[in-house]
């Protein structure tokens, strides 16, 4: 190991994350990846990495030391130079629920099933499939890429756009109106599997008669309680709760970054609109993901 990053201490959850594992849900593997992909991209591009490189996803204050070489480091998209042996701090998140720290060259942890990020629900990826703690050591890859300035700020109070369906017939007649006109807030019980929302109750009409089906990130699942669960990156690949709508990909980060108590309002768009919004949004990644909508 020519260069490495040492975790001196962590005041909250911290784990290795990257762009996730695509194309494995038919094998029961959730996509995982960064909770807020835009902030991962900003941190990586600031130090010359590809947007999808493995970095640290930090939910609290983290103390780190760089070993083996000098390198560019980015915290929240702001880059600075750290000398070999130098110590630096990732402050606890303030604007959102998480903060990203990237190091030039990326975190060179083993690739598992096509990704380096931690998937806690399966205990794989990252470092031994777990959150990090003091004393952990993470190898670094080779750096040298062109650094880029941070892109536009991510809006954390804008409307969240959804494509309605596919299970509209499993809800009461006024469910869509309640969804689009209601005021919701982020619940403290949210996590990487799903964000729970507090607000108006959405009544079901079929009393749980539907079959389980494939799930995707951003799906608005509604259990019998009538409270919305927006599926996150570590979501189960199958589910039986009816889905009233799906958050478009361009709004994943804006929603997932919100802290408990933050407001959420929804607006419906068509599939064609979702694709066009994604086309305009994708440049924030640099080399954008291929998937649309």
Mean pLDDT, residues 80-99: 97
Please state, in angstroms and as integers, the Cα–Cα distance from residue 137 to each residue in 7, 64, 68, following that order: 6, 10, 12
The CATH homologous superfamily for domain 160-285 is Cyclophilin-like (2.40.100.10)
pLDDT reported for residue 206: 72
Domain limits of the chain?
A: 4-139, 160-285
Res 99 pLDDT > 50? yes
- pLDDT at residue 274 in the model: 98
For residues 174-188, give the mean pLDDT.
Answer: 97
Question: pLDDT band at residue 144, thresholds of 50, 70 and 90?
Answer: confident
Whole-number mean pLDDT of the chain? 94
Q: What is the tens place of the pLDDT at every residue in 31-77?
A: 999 999 999 999 999 999 999 999 999 999 999 999 999 999 999 99
Mean pLDDT, rounded, for 129-135: 97
Quick one: CA dihedral 130, 135, 139, 140, positive or negative?
Answer: positive
pLDDT surpasses 70 at 174: yes
Residue 256's closest CA among 235, 273, 272?
Answer: 235
Alpha carbon separation from 237 to 35, 45, 76, 123, 126 (Å, rounded): 17, 30, 30, 16, 21
> What does the pLDDT read at residue 292?
44
Q: Give the model confidence (pLDDT) of 189-230 as tens digits.
A: 999 999 999 999 998 887 666 678 899 999 999 999 999 999
Q: In this model, does residue 293 exceed pLDDT 60?
A: no
Q: How large is the average pLDDT for residues 94-109?
A: 97
């Amino acid at each position: 190991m020519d260069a490495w990053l040492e975790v001196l201490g962590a005041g909250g959850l911290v784990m290795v994350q990257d762009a996730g594992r695509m194309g494995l849900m038919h094998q029961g593997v959730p996509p995982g990846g960064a909770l807020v992909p835009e902030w991962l991209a900003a941190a990586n591009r600031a130090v010359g990495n590809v947007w999808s490189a493995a970095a640290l996803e930090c939910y609290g204050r983290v103390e780190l030391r760089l070993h083996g070489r000098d390198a560019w480091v980015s915290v929240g998209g702001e880059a600075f130079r750290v000398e070999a042996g130098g110590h630096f701090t990732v402050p606890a998140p303030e604007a959102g629920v998480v903060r990203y720290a990237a190091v030039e060259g990326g975190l060179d942890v083993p690739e598992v099933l096509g990704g380096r990020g931690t998937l806690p629900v399966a205990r794989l990826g990252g470092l031994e499939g777990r959150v990090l703690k003091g004393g952990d050591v993470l190898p670094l890859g080779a750096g040298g890429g062109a650094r880029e300035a941070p892109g536009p700020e991510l809006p954390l109070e804008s409307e969240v756009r959804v494509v309605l369906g596919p299970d509209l017939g499993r809800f009461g007649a006024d469910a869509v109106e309640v969804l689009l006109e209601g005021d919701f807030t982020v619940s403290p019980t949210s996590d990487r599997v799903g964000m729970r929302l507090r607000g108006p109750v959405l009544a079901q009409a079929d009393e749980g008669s539907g079959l389980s089906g494939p799930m995707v990130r951003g799906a608005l699942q509604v259990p019998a309680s009538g409270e919305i669960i927006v599926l996150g990156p570590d979501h189960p690949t199958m589910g039986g709760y009816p889905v009233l709508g799906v958050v478009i990909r361009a709004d994943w980060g804006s929603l997932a970054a919100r802290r408990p108590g933050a407001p959420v309002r929804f607006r419906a768009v068509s599939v064609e609109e979702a694709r066009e919004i994604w086309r305009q949004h994708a440049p924030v990644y640099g080399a954008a993901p291929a998937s649309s909508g």
